[in-house]
């Protein structure tokens, strides 16, 4: 708990002077005001995070956290639980979509087992930081103890800060865990108060009957555990997930080092929501990569005041949507650095 508390306390505020200077330069570039849309917002926010008028981007990394969920026993997923370790191995063998996109964008994939069921996978590229083999069934009891939730958060803090120490300047969040849209919907329900029927989707492909069962299971978990929205750790331990907790730590740890975090889809956004509830300043370091097919994702992003960059109807997870935005971030920074001002180009500006 000491590491978590110290990291939360060390999160600073954005540099508004740098943001203003960046906006002034953008407005002087050879284009109409605001013509590059969201890219302009990205570069101004990067300037505020880094405290530089012209921000810089170095190494890129996607932190993929994997964990299983006891609530899968209630039949809330269309896929069996053994898919989680199978997909983790696929990540490690460079066979998944996140590997393809990361190779394309020149990004490093860091895979961590923070709570996968079964024995640890032996692979030189896997971080084995298993807190326990999956969460407990939140429909029957609390998903985790507070100590387990904090331990998972601190794994995320430790690992992302190690990557930052090694040169990472742009971090994406990714996850793998069969059944993890169920705790994500539960977390959103607790904090937003929006009806479960509105925010609960089909996950990996449930039919209508399966979705209704999923809603009933989440409702049962909330009624049984009574998570307190005023106590983020209480919510996380009762209806969260180990990989969600670890990604919460990734966001907190990066924010404390003033490194931007590109949030992937619904599950990653649940972790972002947890981080913001623990320290609202985390929001200043977050970028929403895309809007997924999960109905609760839009509500979650709006709740946090985040605007998605891409609209591609993705629902894969793994960090895929986040990594796909990396070239947009790099292009935005290049515009600030390489595009001529009206004065430099000898182009007439408006009166």
Whether pLDDT at 345 is above 90: no
pLDDT of residue 170: 98
Identify the burial level of 319 via C-beta atoms within 10 angstroms of its C-beta, where 0-12 means exposed, 13-18 middle and 19 or more buried. buried
pLDDT of residue 349: 86
Q: How far is CA 29 from CA 77, 177, 179, 247, 348, in A?
A: 50, 45, 47, 37, 11
Whether pLDDT at 320 is above 90: yes
Domains 2-55+335-345 and 59-329 share a fold: no
pLDDT of residue 107: 98
The predicted-structure confidence for 278-315, as pLDDT tens digits, reads as follows 999 999 999 999 999 999 999 999 999 999 999 999 99
Whether pLDDT at 120 is above 90: no
pLDDT of residue 351: 55
**Listed range (88-92, 190-194, 330-334, 345-349) with the worst mean pLDDT:** 345-349
Whether pLDDT at 350 is above 80: no
The yes or no reply on domain 2-55+335-345 and CATH 1.20.1070.10 is no
The predicted-structure confidence for 199-248, as pLDDT tens digits, reads as follows 999 988 899 999 999 999 999 999 999 999 999 999 999 999 999 999 99
Q: How confident is the model at residue 256 (pLDDT cuts 50, 70, 90)?
A: very high
The predicted-structure confidence for 27-64, as pLDDT tens digits, reads as follows 999 999 999 999 999 999 999 999 999 999 999 999 99
**Residue indicated by tokens 């740890």:** 253
Q: Which residues, 6+ apart, have CB-to-CB distance to 94 below 8 Å?
A: 103
- Choose among 1, 13, 3: nearest CA to 279: 13
Level-2 CATH architecture, domain 59-329: 3-Layer(aba) Sandwich (3.40)
Neighbours of 337 (CB within 10 A): 12
- The arithmetic mean of pLDDT across residues 6-19, rounded, is 98
Q: Which residues, 6+ apart, have CB-to-CB distance to 4 below 8 Å?
A: 150, 153, 154, 157, 249, 252
Mean pLDDT estimate for the chain: 96
The predicted-structure confidence for 187-199, as pLDDT tens digits, reads as follows 999 999 999 999 9
Q: Encoding tokens for residue 92? A: 């490690």
Residues catalogued as catalytic: 318
**Domain ranges across the chain:** 2-55+335-345, 59-329
């Amino acid at each position: 708990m000491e590491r978590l508390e110290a990291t939360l306390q060390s999160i600073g505020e954005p540099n508004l002077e740098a943001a203003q200077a960046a906006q002034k330069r953008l407005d002087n570039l050879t284009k109409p005001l605001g013509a590059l849309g969201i890219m302009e917002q990205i570069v101004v926010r990067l300037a505020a995070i880094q405290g530089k008028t012209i921000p810089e981007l170095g190494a890129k990394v996607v932190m993929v956290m994997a964990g299983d969920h006891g609530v899968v026993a209630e039949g809330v997923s269309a896929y069996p639980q053994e898919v989680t370790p199978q997909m983790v191995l696929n990540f490690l063998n460079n066979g998944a979509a996140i590997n393809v996109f990361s190779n394309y964008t020149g990004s490093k994939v860091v895979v961590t087992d923070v709570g996968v069921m079964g024995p640890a996978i032996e692979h030189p590229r896997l971080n084995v930081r298993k807190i326990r083999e999956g969460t407990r069934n939140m429909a029957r009891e609390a998903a985790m103890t507070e100590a387990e939730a904090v331990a998972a958060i601190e794994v995320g803090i430790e690992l992302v800060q190690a990557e930052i120490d090694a040169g990472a300047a742009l971090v994406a969040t990714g996850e793998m865990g069969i059944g993890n849209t169920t705790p994500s919907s539960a977390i959103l329900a607790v904090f937003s108060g929006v009806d479960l029927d509105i925010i609960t989707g089909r996950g990996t492909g449930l039919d209508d009957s399966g979705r209704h069962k999923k809603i009933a299971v989440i409702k049962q978990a909330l009624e049984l555990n009574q998570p307190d929205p005023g106590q983020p750790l209480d919510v996380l331990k009762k209806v969260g997930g180990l990989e969600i907790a670890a990604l919460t730590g990734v966001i907190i740890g990066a924010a404390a080092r003033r490194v931007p975090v590109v949030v992937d889809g619904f599950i990653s956004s649940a972790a972002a929501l947890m981080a913001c509830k623990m320290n609202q300043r985390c929001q200043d370091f977050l970028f929403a990569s895309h809007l997924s097919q999960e109905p609760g994702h839009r509500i979650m992003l709006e709740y946090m005041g985040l605007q998605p960059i891409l609209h591609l109807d993705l629902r894969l997870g793994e960090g895929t949507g986040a990594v796909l935005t990396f070239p947009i971030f790099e292009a935005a920074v290049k515009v600030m650095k390489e595009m001529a001002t009206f004065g430099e180009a000898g182009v007439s500006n408006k009166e």
